[in-house]
């Protein structure tokens, strides 16, 4: 894959729609809604709940406008990445203590690494936790492995697991209690260097992926799965490649949050809950804007899931009490207000469904930029889909190895 051509094509496609994906819908309502073409909103409003669910899944049921259909088809083509199909099944004993998601991930990572381990003798894992991946790499590849994590309690559980292991050579696995940070760290930096060294980060949070890349410039192999893009600094952390700098997009913190929102398919009940949560929150925002216009957008915070099952009045009372606000309305008046704005809250909801169609493309732009940075450093680079996104939505592996 030519990462530069792919990034250039994606940025050209995304840039004209930046008013949709770079801004928060709710915080900028109603101006944000005006950025959506009338034909898109009319189409979305024509859908029943089953159609809304399909739109949330990325489909376009019914008769979508040509502009929307063409855009989504082009985005899908440019964000489609090859799949790594291999699976190295874990024995029952090796899978003990791992949940279904972790088993799924480890089995595929081991298969991904296996043909790339010819020259590797040691490895370091950022955020290794209890060291499950580390011990299985030691068992599978006979590597010397250093597992780094900030959580001492998790590491102690990993050491206990290692003490009870009968077949694992204990001198091959070492736990290091520290944080991986930018700047010199003499105690750990040598672990990331050397053509016989592998550097791994599974779901490195926010800028930690960039820290791993910078520390691993002299490594023989790098494997990274990024996540939590909303914790990146839009001005500092992207683009990171020279080519990306020449094709910069107007990323904002709202766009970065959107990039994290590649969601798995929802059941009917899960979709209904999401729609109800959004409806309650949107109605409360409209109420606050009308009663306290001087406050502008007010963050209501996440409510307990059970609260969304109650009437709007019960939900609103709880949030208003936490905010220390009194709207001077009875429960009946609050419920009546929510009913009166349902057409508007549904429109806000539909704007969210349409905006979410840009999420994967923004994530791929971030990862293409990182892949190009690694190429600029002299690595051979792959971007592969590895995990089932229903289990692990951040499923794209960035793999960099030395040409020699």
CA distance 353 to 281: 15
Query: 3-class DSSP state for residue 73?
Result: helix
pLDDT value of position 244: 98
Pairing of β 194-205 and β 379-385? unpaired
| Measured distance between the N- and C-terminal CA atoms of the chain, rounded to whole angstroms | 20
CA distance 371 to 383: 8
Closest CA to 349 of 270, 276, 267: 276
Q: Which two tokens stand for residue 332?
A: 């009946």
Q: Which two tokens stand for residue 10?
A: 């994606």
Query: 3-class DSSP state for residue 197?
Result: strand
Residues 292/61, Cβ–Cβ less than 8 Å: no
Residues of the chain with CATH 3.40.50.150: 92-258+360-402
pLDDT value of position 138: 93
Dump strand ranges (E) for 24-171. Answer: 122-126, 144-149
**Ordered DSSP codes for 213-269:** HHHTTTEEEEEEEEE-GGGS-TTTSS--SHHHHTT-----HHHHHHHT--PPPPPHH
Query: 3-class DSSP state for residue 160?
Result: helix
Q: Which residues contact 383 (CB under 8 A, 6 or more apart)?
A: 1, 3, 81, 82, 367, 368, 371, 396, 397, 398, 399
pLDDT value of position 336: 98
The residue with tokens 């024509």 is 46
92-258+360-402: CATH number: 3.40.50.150
The residue with tokens 């957008």 is 297
Residues 201/126, Cβ–Cβ less than 8 Å: yes
pTM, whole model, 2 decimals? 0.95
Q: Which two tokens stand for residue 247?
A: 């094709």
CA distance 124 to 212: 10
Q: What is the pLDDT along the chain (404 residues), one digit of tens a residue?
A: 999 999 999 999 999 999 999 999 999 999 999 999 999 999 999 999 999 999 999 999 999 999 999 999 999 999 999 999 999 999 998 898 899 999 999 999 999 999 998 899 999 999 999 999 999 999 999 999 999 999 999 999 999 888 887 777 778 999 999 999 999 999 999 999 999 999 999 999 999 999 999 999 999 999 999 999 999 999 999 999 999 999 999 999 999 999 998 666 788 999 999 999 999 999 999 999 999 999 999 999 889 999 999 999 999 999 999 999 999 999 999 999 999 999 999 999 999 999 999 999 999 999 999 999 999 999 999 999 999 998 899 999 999 998 65
Closest CA to 301 of 286, 288, 320: 320
Q: Which residues contact 49 (CB under 8 A, 6 or more apart)?
A: 271, 272, 275
């Amino acid at each position: 894959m030519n990462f530069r051509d792919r990034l250039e094509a994606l940025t050209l496609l995304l840039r004209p729609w930046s008013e949709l994906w770079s801004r928060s819908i709710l915080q900028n309502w109603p101006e944000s809604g005006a950025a959506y073409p009338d034909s898109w909103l009319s189409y979305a409003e024509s859908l029943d709940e089953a159609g809304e669910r399909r739109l949330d899944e990325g489909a376009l049921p019914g008769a979508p406008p040509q502009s929307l259909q063409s855009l989504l088809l082009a985005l899908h083509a440019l964000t489609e990445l090859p799949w790594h199909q291999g699976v190295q099944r874990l024995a029952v004993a090796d899978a003990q203590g791992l949940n279904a998601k972790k088993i799924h991930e480890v089995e595929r990572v081991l298969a991904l690494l296996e043909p790339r381990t010819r020259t590797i003798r040691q490895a370091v894992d950022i955020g290794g936790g209890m060291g499950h991946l580390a011990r299985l790499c030691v068992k599978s590849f006979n590597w010397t492995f250093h597992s780094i994590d900030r959580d001492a309690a998790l590491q102690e559980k990993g050491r206990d697991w290692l003490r009870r292991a009968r077949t694992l050579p204990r001198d091959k696995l070492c736990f290091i209690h520290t944080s991986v940070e930018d700047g010199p760290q003499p105690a750990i930096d040598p672990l990331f260097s050397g053509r016989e060294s592998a550097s791994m980060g599974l779901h490195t949070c926010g800028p930690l992926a960039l820290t791993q890349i910078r520390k691993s410039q002299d490594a023989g192999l790098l494997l990274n799965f990024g996540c939590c893009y909303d914790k990146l600094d839009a001005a500092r952390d992207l683009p990171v490649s020279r080519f990306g700098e020449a094709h910069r997009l107007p990323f904002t913190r709202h766009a970065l949050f959107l990039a994290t929102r590649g969601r798995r398919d929802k059941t009917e009940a899960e979709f209904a809950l999401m729609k109800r949560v959004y409806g309650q929150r949107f109605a409360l925002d409209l109420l606050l804007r009308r009663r306290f216009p001087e406050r502008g957008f007010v963050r209501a915070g996440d409510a307990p899931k059970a609260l969304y099952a109650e009437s709007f009045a019960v939900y609103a009372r709880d949030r208003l009490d936490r905010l220390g606000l009194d709207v001077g309305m009875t429960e009946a008046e609050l419920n009546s207000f929510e009913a009166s704005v349902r057409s508007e809250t549904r429109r806000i909801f539909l704007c969210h469904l349409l905006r979410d169609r840009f999420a994967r493309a923004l994530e791929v732009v971030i990862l293409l930029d990182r892949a190009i940075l690694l190429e600029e450093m002299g690595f051979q680079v792959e971007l592969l889909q590895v995990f089932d996104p229903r289990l692990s939505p951040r499923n794209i592996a960035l793999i960099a190895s030395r040409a020699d």
